Each structure stands twice: as structure tokens, then as C-alpha cells.
Amino acid sequence: MSALLSANGAGYAVSGRALLSGIDLAFPQGSMSAIVGPNGSGKTTLLRLLAGVRAPTCGRVLLEGRRLARFRRTEVAARLSYVPQNTWTDFEITVFDAVAMGRLPKVGAWRALRRADFDAIHRALERLDLQDLRERTLPTLSAGERQRVFIARALAQGAGILLLDEPTSSLDIGHQLVLMAMLEELHAEGKTIVAAMHDLGLVWSTFPRAVLLDRGRMAGDGATRDVLLGAAAAAAFAVRLSAGADGRLLAER
Amino acid sequence: MALIRRAGARFIPCAALVLVPLILASVAEGTVSIGLGDTLRVLFDALGLGSAEGVPRAFQIIILEARLPRAVLFLLVGGALAVSGVTLQSTFQNAMAAPSILGISGGAALGAVIAIYTGVADRCAPVLPAAAFAGALAAMTLVYVLAHLGGRPSPTSLVLTGIAVGSLALAGVTLIMLWAQEYRMKEVLVWTMGGKEEISWAEVLLACGPVLLGAVLLCLRHRFIDALSLGEEHALSVGVPVERVRCTLMLLCALASGAAVSVAGTIGFVGLIVPHVVRLAIGPRARTLLPASFLVGGGFLVLCDLLARVLSSPLRFLPVGIVTSVAGVPFFLWLLYRARRLEA
């Protein structure tokens, strides 16, 4: 499979301090990958580079074989939707309007929303269990509800690639499992999914591939089982990871 | 929220309707009070829909040559300042943002004051507004260039650069006022308080084009403004080219509010208060907030001008900028109080 999204020697530095360096990664069409690593390992920075919201200070990021920076922003958003980690806002927009914003790459500045746009918005609201909240404003929602709103917006965008930064960090256990099932469905529909994840249990049970980051560098990339049970993961997280008799991931210090 | 959405749809025609009696009152009242009947007869006569026979000639001149252009100009100026305020507050996610924070008002004031001090403003009527407009554009360009030194700035650093450039421009205005001869100093002082006593149709026409163009183009970008209200990362993720859009929005604000300030003088608080009041009434969506703020901002300034003229006497002239500030300061303090309460 050819890479739909890739990073070639990509790195990012602030005031001369490298937050991320030497990242070589390829995400083929229809793949489902988790980016894992301890706090401060560069997961969010990597997703920002892949989403094009930050430009790499060295190396490059390619989308469909072309430098991401060469695409217009609407062209990027038509191909790739990104859900940032920070969902707090005091902008008193309704859930419906926030999800409808996902249609911006399709409708542009002036065109009115059409039936297809409304259908995409309603499907996304339904999928994320947000129908009852559609008239509530974002500042009145809990962090988990806001997280679901922005995931719904990404779905309404209808892009082939979904980049999610800690999508389960504020979700209750029920919604975590619903989200993982939904990501599997989207994967089965042919979407390319890349998610930065903290919960290694969910990564273990859902993602076929894991990319391990440690102190801004790649420490592993491959089948989730191999990466998480490898020595690099144990060193990065300072824990011993093993597969339990019931097939679940176990961690001990 | 559904109620607010419906209120938004009704608010705009209601605000437009309220403007009619407001403008009529502004045209009829002042140091000389003209009855509503005479005012309507003169206005219908001007529109070719009736006759102004029996209305004293002096009243006709006061209405058509002095008060009507004044009301129309303040409607445009208030509208431009309010629309710019909405845009800047959303774009920079800063509740205190207004045209003055990007140095637009300060730059316009400096340009105008230089024109008055050097005497070039006396040569022909359009020189003063042209100088003020050039000052506004120069200040905004300076803010943009300085903020981008060393990389892409955050909204906060753009706002801080705007405050710095605005302060520098106002220091220049103060210095010129200290150096100016007494009669020029009063002229400068009155201009910086939005206290132009006479307004001609030529000045209205001068402001009309850029103000309406700027306001309409800002209204057409309501989706981008909403996306920016959620923050830069969110806006980028839905396909908004943040840097380019932010630059365009700043230019359009400079065009609309720079043109407004250049003919009417600096008028404080309209660009700050009106967006907050309208947002409380109809919610934050730019699609309705922008046109509603234009109408409310225009109406508010027409009302403040009417109050200023009614409270003025031949010996004690009251500039409209004083009235807007007197109305604005308590609201500004209430905003600070509310923000602190929310934080707590």
C-alpha cells in the first residue's frame, strides 16, 4: 500500500530546543494507527505536524505524495480532519452549529448548507450520541461532551483521514468503548485513522498498529503487540507490560 | 439557545425599524427644535413624495444640510465601529478587543492631528479625512509587521502590539497638542473626541464607500469569523487559512473603521460595548451578530449624538465622544466585574 500521509525526517523545534526529531512514518490508506508514548514524548506535536497546523522545522510531511505545505488549507481539510486535544472554549455556539462547521471545506464562505450537508451533520450527531444536546452551547457542556462534539465535527467533514489527539481523555468508560467501536467501523469503511492515545489498554484492544515515541524520537513502530511488549515501551513508560492469560494488557512497575 | 436563534432572526428587522424614529428624532431635535410634522414634510419633499410648503426655509436647510447628513454619517460610523469590534473580538478571542486596540483609532488621530497642526487640513475639505485614513492604515500595517517579527504571532501578542502602537500614536497626539497654538489645540481636542460640529454630504459620501464595502465584506466572512472564535487550531482543522483570513479581516476593519474615524473623529467604546450588548441579546453567531451590531452601533451613535446636541448650548459644546464614553465606562467596568465573577 502506498502512503497516504507520511513524515520524512520530520522534526519540530522551538527556540532551538527540539520537541520532535527524525520522524519517518508512513500511513497507508485505510490504516489504523495509535501514537503512544509517555507525557512530553511529542505525540501532540507529531499530530500537529501531520495535520499541518504546525510546519516542521526540518524534514517534511507529505499528503498523497505532495508536500502538505503546498496544499491550500481547504484542500487539506477536505482530505484530513483533525480533532485537537484542547476542546475548552467560551464561544457560546450550539452543538449543532459547531458540528456544522465541519462542512466549511465543502460549502466555503458563502454557499448555503444543502440537504447533503444537513444529512452529514445529523449522521455525525447521531453517531456521537449528541442529538439531545444539539441546542446546548459548548461552554455549558462537560469536557467529555465537548470532545464528542469535535469528533462529530470531524466526521461531518467527511475527510478520508482522521487525526485524533487523545480522543478518549475526557470520556467516561461507556463513551470510550462506543468511540473505539466507531473508529473500528470507520476503519472498516476505509478511513485512515491516526490517534494519539494515553490508554494503552484501548490501544491494545483496538489498534492494529502502534507508533511509540520517547523524548521526541521514534522508539518503535509496528504491530501493537510487538511495540507494547517490546523493551523500548518498557523503558519509555518505566513499567513492565505483558499479555495476561485472558489476552488483556497488564502493566506492573 | 433555540430562543436566541429565533431572537436573532427577529432582532435585525426590529433594530432596522427602531432606526426610523431614532433618525427622525435626530433630525427634528437639537439646539433648535423642529416639529415632527415639519420634519416629515421636508423629508417627503426631498424624496419627491410631498411638499414642504409652509415650512420655514431655515428649517429646510437645518434638516437637509446639517442634521440629516449628520445622522447618516453617525449611523455609518457607529455601524462600522461595531462591526469591526465584533470581528476583532472574535478573531483575537479577546473580549476587550476594539478598533482602538489595533492602533486604528490612534493612527487615525495622529494622521488627523498632524494635518491640523501643519495647516494642510485648511487647504481643502478631504485632506483631513484622507490624512486620518492614511494614519489608520499606517498604524495597522505597523502593528502587523511588528507583530510578525520573529515568526507567527499569537492573538495575544498581536493585541499587545496594537496597544503599544496605539499608545505611541496617542503620545504623538498629546505632544502635538502641547506644541500647537491655542486655537489649533482646541480643534485637535474636539476632533479627538468625535466632536465635529458641521458635517457635509461630501464627508458622508467620502465615508460611505469604504464603510459599506468593509462592513459587507466582513459580513460575508461570517463563517471564517465563527471558526476563528473557536481558536486557531480549530479554524485550521476546518480549512480556514488562518494567517491570510486574519490579515484580510484586519484590513477590512481598518478600511471600515479607519474611514469612519477619519470623518467623524475618534469615538470610544462603541466598538467595545455594542458587540457585547448584541451578543447578550442574540448570541455569538457572526452571521446575525455582524449585521445586528451594525444597526445597533449606528443607532447607538445617532442617539448619543442627539443627546450631545440636546445637552449642548452655544457656549458649552458637548462632543459625542464624551457621551459614548460616559455610557461606556460603567459597562466596561461591569464587563470586568462579570469576567472576575466567572473566573471565581
Cβ of B223 within 8 Å of Cβ of A104? The answer is: yes
Whether residue A192 is predicted with pLDDT greater than 90 in this model: the reply is yes
What is the full DSSP assignment across A10-64?
EEEEETTEEEEEEEEEEEETT-EEEEE-STTSSHHHHHHHHHTSS--SEEEEEET
The predicted structure's pLDDT at residue A34: 97
Instruction: Report d(CA A193, CA A184) in Å as an integer.
Output: 9
Higher model confidence: residue B127 or residue B39?
B39
DSSP-derived secondary structure letter, B286:
H
Third-level CATH fold of A3-252? Rossmann fold (3.40.50)
Residue B89: its chain A contacts at CB < 8 A? none
Cβ of B239 and A105 within 8 Å? yes
Q: Cβ-count burial of B145 within 10 angstroms (0-12 exposed, 13-18 middle, 19+ buried)?
A: exposed
Question: What is the C-alpha separation between A172 and A176, in angstroms, rounded?
Answer: 6
B105-150 confidence digits (pLDDT tens) = 889 889 988 888 888 877 776 787 788 888 988 998 898 889 888 7
Q: Does A104 touch chain B (CB under 8 A)?
A: yes
| Residue burial B275-285, b: 16+ Cβ < 10 Å; e: rest | bbbbbeebbbb
In terms of C-beta density within 10 A (0-12 exposed, 13-18 middle, 19 or more buried), how is residue B40 classed? middle
Chain B residues in contact with A109 (beta carbon < 8 A): 220-221, 223-224
> Percent of chain B, pLDDT > 90?
39
Question: Do B58 and B38 contact (CB within 8 A), yes or no?
Answer: no
What would the DSSP string read from start to end of B86-116?
A: HHHHHHTT-TT--GGGGTHHHHHHHHHHHHH
CB A211 within 8 A of CB A236: no
Nearest CA in chain A to B89: A91
Q: Which residues of B158-175 are buried (b: 16+ CB within 10 A; e: fewer)?
A: bbebbbebbeebbebbee
Indicate whether B3 pLDDT > 60.
Answer: no
Phi and psi (nearest 5°) for A243? -90, 125
Provide the 8-state DSSP code for B149.
T
- Note whether A195 and A34 are within 8 A (CB): yes
pLDDT tens-digit series, residues A21-69: 999 999 999 999 999 999 999 999 999 999 999 999 999 999 999 999 9
Cα B287 from chain centroid (whole Å): 19
- What pLDDT was estimated at residue B220? 95
Q: State what percent of residues in chain A have pLDDT above 90.
A: 84
Q: Which residue has the cell 519517518?
A: A24
Instruction: Give this complex's ipTM.
Output: 0.91
Grid cell 502502534 — which residue? A210
> Which residue segment(s) compose the domain that B32 sits in?
2-343
- d(CA A150, CA B214) in angstroms, rounded, equals 32
HSE-CB of B288 using CA atoms within 13 angstroms = 21
Reported confidence tier of residue B212, pLDDT bands at 50, 70, 90: very high
- Rounded Cα gap, residues B93 and B159, in angstroms: 10
Q: What's the average model confidence in pLDDT over B293-308?
A: 94
CA distance B252 to B259: 10
Nearest beta carbon to residue B238 from set A92, A105, A135: A105
What was the pLDDT predicted at B98? 87
pLDDT of residue B195: 67
Grid coordinates standing for A22? 527524525
Confidence of residue A185 (pLDDT cuts 50, 70, 90): very high
Domain of B147: which CATH number? 1.10.3470.10
d(CA B67, CA B215): 24
B223 and A109 within 8 Å at the Cβ level: the answer is yes
Beta carbon pairs, A and B, within 8 Å: 81
Cα angle B124-B127-B133, degrees, rounded to a multiple of 5 = 160
Q: What is the pLDDT of residues B70-95, one digit of tens each?
A: 999 999 999 999 999 999 998 888 88
**What integer pLDDT is reported at residue B332 of this predicted model?**
67
Residues 6+ apart with CB under 8 A from B193: B265, B266, B319, B320, B321, B322
Rg (CA), chain B: 20
Asked whether the beta carbons of B169 and B139 are under 8 A apart, the reply is yes
| Overall number of domains in chain B | 1
B97 CB near a chain A CB, below 8 Å? Answer: no
Query: What's the gap in Å between the CA of B301 and the closest CA on chain A?
Result: 27
End-to-end Cα separation, chain A, in angstroms: 39
